[in-house]
Structure 1
Amino acid sequence: MFVNRSRVKGFYQLSINERLELATHGRGLTEEEKSLLSGKQPFPMETADAMVENVIGQFSIPLGVASNFKVNGKDVFIPMATEEPSVIAAASNAARAAYDLGGFHTSTSGTIMRGQVQVLDCIDPFAARSRILENKEEIMNRCNEKDPTLVQLGGGVKDLEVHLVNTRKETIVVIHLLVDTKDAMGANAVNTMAEYVSPLIEKITGGRVVLRIISNLADKRLARARGVFDAQALGGVEIVKNIVSAFEFADADPYRAATHNKGVMNGISSVVLATGNDTRAVEAGAHAYAARSGSYRSLTTWEMNEDGNLVGTIELPMAVGIIGGATKTHPVAKACLKILGITTSDELAGIIAAVGLAENAASLRALSSEGIQAGHMRLHAKNLAVMAGAAHSDIDRVVQQAVEEKDVRYDRILQIVQEIQGEDL
């Protein structure tokens, strides 16, 4: 039963417990962690109360695992937390099309985050810029004094930039602290350094420091993924051509690009959330990066190679960590990191990028063939059956009948549920 491969035929047909055992086998999860994942053991309210303010309860999101993923030669089950039907199935299906052609290959640009210090009321902004650069070493040393642990781990401020930004009222001086946050996302470390060094910057510039905060446009913390998808598994060469055309449409038209990239983020945000990372920070960085040329464009690229197969790449900021924040306080997030079997934030960033690429491939394949609704509504029908009051044992029968009738609407599903319940009277 147990294999060290994510490529498991009929994985979705297994029971919840069977899927749990396959995904966690050999990952060192405790029985308590498995109980938390399965919902047998509730998430402690005391932990919830310590994480956010004014706690009154909890809001659960389904947690699944994407299968068929091979990333940098290593098979991996990928935890995904999402409320949207078809997201996990879509990623798994696209990953299957890439599996035999090598899966996904990833790279990252490092773990540098930007901290911005805004200086107002500079009489001589150009000269102030020069004075800051003249005192660069002192500024960097002052920042690193504030986090000796990070420095001991090889991190800390590595460089700084000075930008002159023209606003409606004045030219402001903005210092960018380039901080290597290592395996943490780094917001707390960067913000603390930015605040700590502000008095020195005011002294050097003669201006007034106001904002001191991290930038979520983490353009020095990029994650990249590449995959080759078998044309026949996608539906043939014509489908591949249609996918490439759909990408070209998204890359040229921001109205299409917004929905195109939303599909990418369906996959990315699900893994970010499952691992206890900041979905809003990653989403903000991704969309800002998509608009870096001055026009909002596709986060992915798609081409057809000489064999007629689909080749996809993705590059985007990926500010995620494996230490600090909810990654260490939320027990389910900790268990998800164990399932992934990673040891660095770079590994996590690459895996997340691969999921985004797979998700986009699946969306474009559906759009380029039968349309997005066919597969999505098939899975959405389960939700509708539950809404209509179907017994758990009847859900599959309800869904099958609605799909065969090609009528996946709530009112029709409600009729089917009532008909089945009438049979049992």
Structure 2
Amino acid sequence: MKKFYEMVRDERLDFIKNAVGLSEEEKASLGAPLAFESADRMVENAVGIMSVPLGIATNFVINGVERLVPMAIEEPSVIAAASKAAKIARAKGGFTAKADRSLMIGQVQVVSVKNVAGARRKVLAKKKEILAIANAKSKSVAAIGLGAREVRDASRNRMGRMLVVELTIDAKDAMGANAVNTMCEAIAPKIAEITGGEVVLKILSNYATKRMVRCKAVFDKGELGGSKIVKRILYAYALAHSDVYRAVTHNKGVMNGIDAVALATGQDFRAIEAGAHAYAARDGTYRSLTRWWRTKEGDLAGEIELPLAVGIVGGVANVNPTAKVALKIMSVKSAQELAMAMAAAGLAQNLAAIRALSAEGIQAGHMRLHARKFGK
């Protein structure tokens, strides 16, 4: 059989159709532009559609399951590099991943509170009542926890002490932004009444630290180019861990993989980016999102950990048929499975990038594909 990259478009579409059971309508949607009527509902003042190439990364085995991974991205070499890295990982069993429950945090900011500590105690004493108000607004997700903490203003404005009331909400298979925001707005009047303060912000946090995903894999030293390349990759990682100038570019490579899958499947990649970069700086210094080390056998092992709030129901997938088909191509049955696949794409893309940088340099393969892109 031909390798996927050797096929022409019709052969690729037929392969995908047979692999995951696409209908003819779903197959056709992969080549159809988004209808302007749909775009006009999605954004204001719409005038057209901005197209982004959609490709398929191959060779991914995640927790023992083979997956085709749709990636929407305009940059050459990313899909090919991720596929190659996944093939190397495949020889050692592929990617192993875990994802937390889909717990999101919603925040209600309260200001002008005379006794913050006292107000906090009053809020927590009314926990059941507040959660009941929140849950009355949704049938699909559930508020399961409530917390409150004091925040001291560290800005130049010196606006004083604030109380932040935080809802913990199980978003299940949705990303959950709309439901979380609705719940925060619903409890705001009660929070103001209890605290005697003024409520300002009522919104989710995109720093989804209760919704973590972790993924790891082992890459054969021979497939990477030998022990010397493994050592050079570890030097590259050491710089990304220690120097913010390198860490930013290192993590850009990680997000090449994650964002491309996010865009293909209709996720909020800006929220994902913001949360990922905040997590990269969690100890006060911006560092690599991935970690790399040498195994006892001399192979290269890597892992990634980051907050990842994604969904397979609601959102863009309800409006954009291509995003809906992309989710079907991945054969994911839960938001957790999608998060794990995205983390695997990020780890694979990071490995591919630092391997190229540590060996022949990034330009050798990247610019060859870049030249093809512009017909040179």
Pairwise TM-score range, normalised by the shorter structure: over 0.9
Greater RCO (CA < 8 Å, at least 6 residues apart):
2
Corresponding position of 1:130: 121
Distance (Å, rounded) in 1 between the aligned partners of 2:48 and 2:110:
42
Distance (Å, rounded) in 1 between the aligned partners of 2:41 and 2:26:
19
Q: Is the aligned partner of 1:374 residue 2:374? A: no
SS of the residue 2:209 aligns to: coil
Displacement, 1:246?
1.1
Corresponding position of 1:242: 232
Match 1:107 to one of 98, 106, 112: 98
Quick one: which amino acid aligns to residue 125 of structure 1?
V
Distance (Å, rounded) in 2 between the aligned partners of 1:223 and 1:145:
30
Match 1:59 to one of 25, 50, 61: 50
Q: Is the aligned partner of 1:172 residue 2:171? A: no
Distance (Å, rounded) in 1 between the aligned partners of 2:131 and 2:172:
17
Distance (Å, rounded) in 2 between the aligned partners of 1:323 and 1:131:
36
Match 1:209 to one of 186, 196, 199: 199
Q: Deviations over 1:362-381 (max 9, x none)?
A: 00100110111111001000
Corresponding position of 2:277: 287
Corresponding position of 2:297: 307
Displacement, 1:243?
1.1
Q: Deviations over 1:74-130 (max 9, x none)?
A: 111100000000110110010011111100011012100010100010011111111
Do the aligned residues in 2 keep the contact of 1:23 with 1:65 (CA within 8 Å)?
no
Q: How does 1:70-219 map to 2 (within 5 A)?
A: 70-147=61-138, 149-150=139-140, 155-167=141-153, 168-219=158-209
Q: Deviations over 1:394-413 (max 9, x none)?
A: xxxxxxxxxxxxxxxxxxx4
Corresponding position of 1:12: 5
Displacement, 1:72?
0.7
Query: How many residues end up aligned between the 2 structures?
Result: 372
Q: How does 1:223-242 map to 2 (within 5 A)?
A: 223-242=213-232
Distance (Å, rounded) in 2 between the aligned partners of 1:216 and 1:189:
13
SS of the residue 1:273 aligns to: helix
Q: What's the C-alpha RMSD, in Å, of the aligned pairs? A: 1.1
Q: Is the aligned partner of 1:27 residue 2:20? A: yes
Corresponding position of 2:353: 363
Could you list the runs of 4 or more consecutive aligned residues of structure 1 that deviate by over 4 angstroms after TM superposition? none
* Sequence identity (%): 53
SS of the residue 1:185 aligns to: coil
Distance (Å, rounded) in 1 between the aligned partners of 2:289 and 2:40:
37
Corresponding position of 2:212: 222
Structure 1 residue runs without a partner (length 5+): 2-8, 386-412, 414-425
Corresponding position of 1:270: 260
Displacement, 1:228?
0.6
SS of the residue 1:158 aligns to: strand
Q: Of the two, which has the highest radius of gyration?
A: 1
Corresponding position of 1:405: none
Displacement, 1:384?
2.5
Distance (Å, rounded) in 2 between the aligned partners of 1:246 and 1:162:
42
Moved more, 92-101 or 12-21: 12-21
Do the aligned residues in 2 keep the contact of 1:267 with 1:359 (CA within 8 Å)?
yes
Distance (Å, rounded) in 1 between the aligned partners of 2:15 and 2:181:
41
Q: Is the aligned partner of 1:341 residue 2:327? A: no
Q: Is the aligned partner of 1:321 residue 2:311? A: yes
Corresponding position of 1:69: 60
